[in-house]
A and B are shown apart, each in its own frame.
Chain A
Amino acid sequence: MSQTKKPVEEIDRVAIRFAGDSGDGMQLTGTKFTESTALAGNDLATFPDFPAEIRAPAGSLAGVSGFQVHFASEDIRTPADHPDVLVAMNPAALRTNLPDLRPGGMVIVNTDAFTTKNIAQAGYEEDPLPAARDSHRLVEIPLTSLNREALKDLKLGARETDRCKNFFALGIMFWLYNRPAESTERWLGGKFKGDVLEANLRVLKAGHAYGETTELFPVSFVVPRAKIQPGTYRNITGNTALAWGIVAAGQQLEQPIFLGAYPITPASDILHELARYRHFGIKTFQAEDEIAAACSAIGASFAGHLGICTTSGPGFILKQEALGLAVMTELPVVVVDVQRAGPSTGMPTKTEQADLLAAVYGRNSDSPIPVLAPSTPGDCFHTMIEAFQIAVRYMTPVVVLSDGYLANSSEPWLIPDVGALPRQTVDYATDPETFQPYSRDPETLARPWAVPGTPGLEHRLTGIESEDVTGNVSYIAENHEKMVALRSEKIARIANDLPPIETNGSASGELLVVGWGGTCGALTAAVNEARESGQDVSSIHIRHLNPFPSNLGDVLGSFKQVLVAELNQGQLWRMLRAEYLVPAESLAKVEGQPFKISEVRARIDQMLGGGAH
Chain B
Amino acid sequence: MAAQAATPLKAKDFVSDQDVRWCPGCGDYSILKNVQRVMPDIGVPKEDVVFVSGIGCSSRFPLYMDTYGFHTIHGRAPAFATGIKAARPELSVWVVTGDGDGLSIGGNHLMHVLRRNLDVQILLFNNRVYGLTKGQYSPTSRVGMNTKSTPQGSIDHPIDPVSFALGAGATFVARAIDVDGPHLQEMLKRASAHPGTALIEILQNCPVYNDDEWVEVQERKSRAKTALVLEDGEPLVWGGPGERRGIAITDGVPSIIALGDDEDPTSKGVAVHDESHQSPSYAFALASLARPDFPVPIGVFRAVEKPSYERMLQDQVDAASVKAGPGDLHALLNSGDTWTVEA
B-binding residues in A (CB < 8 A): 35, 38-39, 41, 183, 225, 228-235, 244, 247-248, 251, 256, 258, 260, 277-283, 285, 287-289, 291-293, 295-305, 307, 321-322, 324-325, 329, 415-416, 418, 452-464, 472-473
Chain A residues lying within 8 Å of B108, measured Cβ to Cβ, are 288-289, 292
Provide 12 A-B residue pairs closer than 8 Å at the C-beta atoms, listed in order of the A residue.
A231-B341, A232-B341, A233-B340, A278-B319, A279-B320, A281-B317, A288-B111, A307-B87, A454-B47, A459-B69, A460-B16, A460-B71
Task: Say whether A460 contacts B69, CB under 8 Å.
Answer: yes
Which of chain B's residues have a CB closer than 8 A to the CB of A260?
A: 79, 83
For B341, list chain A residues within 8 Å (CB). 41, 225, 228-233
Query: Is B87's CB under 8 angstroms from A281's CB?
Result: no
Residue on A with the closest CB to B318? A278
Complex CA distance for A293 and B62, rounded to whole angstroms: 22
Kindly report which residue of chain B lies nearest to residue A292, judged by CB atoms: B79
Q: Are B80 and A295 in contact (CB under 8 A)?
A: yes
Do B91 and A303 have beta carbons less than 8 Å apart? yes
Does any Cβ of A come within 8 Å of B57's Cβ?
no
Q: Which residues of B are found within 8 Å of A288, using beta-carbon distances?
A: 79, 108-109, 111-112
Q: Is the CB of A251 within 8 A of B329?
A: yes
Shortest C-beta distance, A189 to chain B (Å), equals: 14
Q: Determine the chain A residues whose CB is within 8 A of the CB of B71 once the complex forms.
A: 460-464
Q: Which 4 A-B pairs have the closest CB atoms?
A: A299-B83, A280-B327, A295-B79, A296-B83
For A418, the chain B residues whose CB sits under 8 A away are: 329-330, 333
Residues of B within 8 A of A (CB): 16, 18, 45-50, 52, 62-63, 65-73, 76, 78-84, 86-88, 90-91, 108-109, 111-112, 313, 316-317, 319-321, 323-327, 329-330, 332-334, 336-343
- A41-B341, A282-B327, A303-B84 known, 8 other contacts, Cβ within 8 Å: A38-B339, A291-B76, A299-B84, A300-B83, A303-B83, A329-B70, A459-B69, A462-B70
Q: Which residues of A contact B46 (CB under 8 A)?
A: 458
Closest to B13 in A: A458
Query: Which residues does chain A contribute within 8 Å of B78, judged by CB atoms?
Result: 292
Please state if B83 and A456 are interface contacts (CB–CB under 8 Å). no
Query: Complex: how many Å from CA A303 to CA B330?
Result: 28
Partner of A472, one of B18, B49, B90, B109: B18
Known interface pairs A232-B338, A234-B338. Does A452 touch B325 (Cβ–Cβ under 8 Å)? no
Q: Which residue of chain B has its CB nearest to the CB of A464?
A: B71
Shortest C-beta distance, A527 to chain B (Å), equals 26
CA distance A35 to B337 in the complex (A): 8
In this complex, what residue of B is CB-closest to A229? Answer: B341
Q: Are A258 and B324 in contact (CB under 8 A)?
A: no
B253 CB to closest chain A CB (Å) equals 33
Minimum C-beta distance from B19 to chain A (A): 9
**B333: chain A residues within 8 A (beta carbon):** 234, 244, 415-416, 418
A462 with B83: CB separation less than 8 A: no
Q: A295-B80, A302-B84 are in contact. Are A452 and B338 (CB under 8 A)?
A: no
Q: A229-B341, A260-B83 are in contact. Are A279 and B324 (CB under 8 A)?
A: yes
- Which residues from chain A contact B337 at a C-beta distance below 8 Å? 35, 38-39, 183, 234-235
Contact A302-B70, Cβ < 8 Å, known A457-B47, A458-B46, A473-B63: yes
Interface pair B76/A292, CB less than 8 Å apart = yes
The number of inter-chain residue pairs (CB within 8 angstroms) is 206
Cα separation A39 to B72 with both chains bound (whole Å): 50
Q: Nearest CB to that of A324 among chain B residues?
A: B73
Q: How far is the CA of A472 from the CA of B339 in the complex (A)?
A: 57
CB-CB nearest in chain A for B309:
A285
Question: Which residues does chain B contribute within 8 Å of A416, judged by CB atoms?
Answer: 333
With both beta carbons as reference points, the residue of chain B lying nearest to A248 in the complex is identified as: B329
- Shortest C-beta distance, B318 to chain A (Å), equals 9
Give every chain B residue within 8 A of A464 (Cβ-Cβ). 71
User: With a CB–CB cut-off of 8 A, which chain B residues contact A230?
Assistant: 340-343
Taking a contact as CB atoms under 8 Å apart, the answer to whether A299 and B80 are in contact is yes
Asked, given contacts A41-B339, A291-B76, A463-B71, whether A453 binds B90 with beta carbons under 8 Å apart, the answer is yes
Interface centre among A183, A260, A296, by most chain B C-beta atoms within 10 angstroms, is: A296
- Give complex CA distance A304, B81 in Å: 13
In the bound complex, residues from chain A placing their C-beta under 8 Å from that of B327 are 247, 251, 277, 279-282
Task: Tell whether, in the assembled complex, residue B83 and residue A307 are in contact, meaning their CB atoms are under 8 Å apart.
Answer: yes
Instruction: Check A234 against B336 for contact (C-beta < 8 Å).
Output: yes
Q: Once bound together, how far apart are the Cα atoms of A230 and B342, in whole Å?
A: 5
**Of B62, B87, B340, which is within 8 A of A303 by CB?**
B87
Bound Cα distance from A142 to B288, whole angstroms: 69
In the bound complex, do residue A455 and residue B87 qualify as a contact, i.e. CB atoms below 8 Å apart?
no
Residue contact A303 to B45, C-beta cutoff 8 Å: no
Write out the residue numbers on chain B whose beta carbons fall within 8 Å of the beta carbon of A296: 79-80, 82-83, 86
How distant is A495 from chain B, measured CB to nearest CB, in Å?
29
Complex interface: chain B residues within 8 A of A457 (CB)? 47
Q: Is the beta-carbon distance between B72 and A295 smaller than 8 angstroms?
A: yes
Closest CB in chain B relative to A89 CB, distance in Å: 26
Min distance, Cβ A556 to any Cβ of chain B, angstroms: 37
B86: chain A residues within 8 A (beta carbon)? 258, 283, 285, 296, 300
**Once bound together, how far apart are the Cα atoms of A501 and B332, in whole Å?**
31
With contact pairs A281-B327, A302-B80 given, residues A258 and B87 touching in the complex (Cβ less than 8 Å)? yes
Minimal beta-carbon separation of A41 from chain B (angstroms): 6
Least CB distance from A81 to B in Å reads 27
Give bound CA distance, A247 to B328, whole Å. 10
Known contacts A228-B341, A232-B334, A455-B47; A279/B80 CB under 8 A: no
Contact A279 B321, CB 8 Å, known A291-B76, A295-B79, A463-B72: yes
Residues of chain B within 8 A of A225, CB atoms compared: 341
Partner of B63, one of A277, A293, A462: A462
B49, B316, B339: the one contacting A39 at CB < 8 Å is B339
Complex Cα gap A304–B336 (Å): 33
Q: Return the chain B residue nearest A305 by Cβ.
A: B87
Check A459 against B68 for contact (C-beta < 8 Å). yes
The answer to whether B63 touches A452, judged by C-beta atoms less than 8 angstroms apart, is no
Assess whether A455 is in contact with B109, with CB atoms less than 8 Å apart.
Answer: no
B45: chain A residues at CB < 8 Å are 455
Q: Is the CB of B320 within 8 A of A295?
A: no
Of A235, A283, A291, A452, the residue contacting B48 (CB under 8 A) is A452
The reply to whether B334 and A303 contact each other, CB–CB distance below 8 Å, is no
Cα–Cα, bound, A303→B82 (Å): 11
What is the minimal beta-carbon distance from B246 to any residue of chain A, in angstroms? 40
Is B112's CB under 8 angstroms from A300's CB?
no
A245 to chain B, nearest CB (A): 10
Q: Is the CB of A234 within 8 A of B83?
A: no
Q: Is the Cβ of B82 less than 8 Å from the Cβ of A279?
A: no
B338 near A297 (CB under 8 angstroms)? no
- Asked whether A299 lies within 8 Å of B320 as measured between CB atoms, the reply is no
A280 CA to B318 CA in the complex, in Å?
Answer: 10
Q: Establish whether residues A295 and B73, one from each chain, have CB atoms under 8 Å apart when the complex forms.
A: yes
Q: How far is the CA of A453 from the CA of B81 in the complex (A)?
A: 15
Residues of chain A within 8 A (CB-CB) of B68 are 452, 458-460
Q: Are B329 and A297 neighbours in the complex by a CB distance under 8 Å? A: no
Give the docked Cα–Cα distance between A329 and B80 (Å): 13
With both chains docked as a complex, state the minimum distance between the C-beta of B33 and any C-beta of chain A, in angstroms: 18
- Contact at B18–A452, with CB atoms within 8 Å? no
Task: Report the bound CA distance from A8 to B37 in whole Å.
Answer: 86
In the bound assembly, the distance between CA atoms of A460 and B60 in angstroms comes to 10
Q: Cβ of B338 and Cβ of A415 under 8 Å apart?
A: yes
What is the CB-to-nearest-CB distance from A287 to chain B, in angstroms, rounded to a whole number? 7
Identity of the chain B residue whose Cβ is nearest the Cβ of A329 in the assembled complex: B70
Q: Could you tell me the distance between the alpha carbons of A291 and B78 in the complex, rounded to whole angstroms?
A: 11
Name the B residues within 8 Å of A459 (CB-CB): 68-69
Is A453 touching B82 in the complex (CB atoms < 8 A)?
A: no
**Whose C-beta in chain B lies nearest to the C-beta of A284?**
B313
Q: Taking CB as reference atom, which chain B residue is nearest A186?
A: B337
**Complex contacts, B48 vs chain A, CB 8 Å:** 452-453
Q: How far is the CB of A283 from chain B (nearest CB, A)?
A: 6
Task: Determine if A244 and B332 form an interchain contact, defined as CB atoms under 8 angstroms apart.
Answer: yes
Q: State in angstroms the CA–CA spacing of A304 and B50 once bound together.
A: 13
Task: Tell whether, in the assembled complex, residue B339 and residue A299 are in contact, meaning their CB atoms are under 8 Å apart.
Answer: no
Q: B324 contacts which chain A residues (CB < 8 A)?
A: 279
> In the complex, how many angstroms separate the beta carbon of B240 from the nearest chain A beta carbon?
44
* CB–CB A299/B73 < 8 A: no
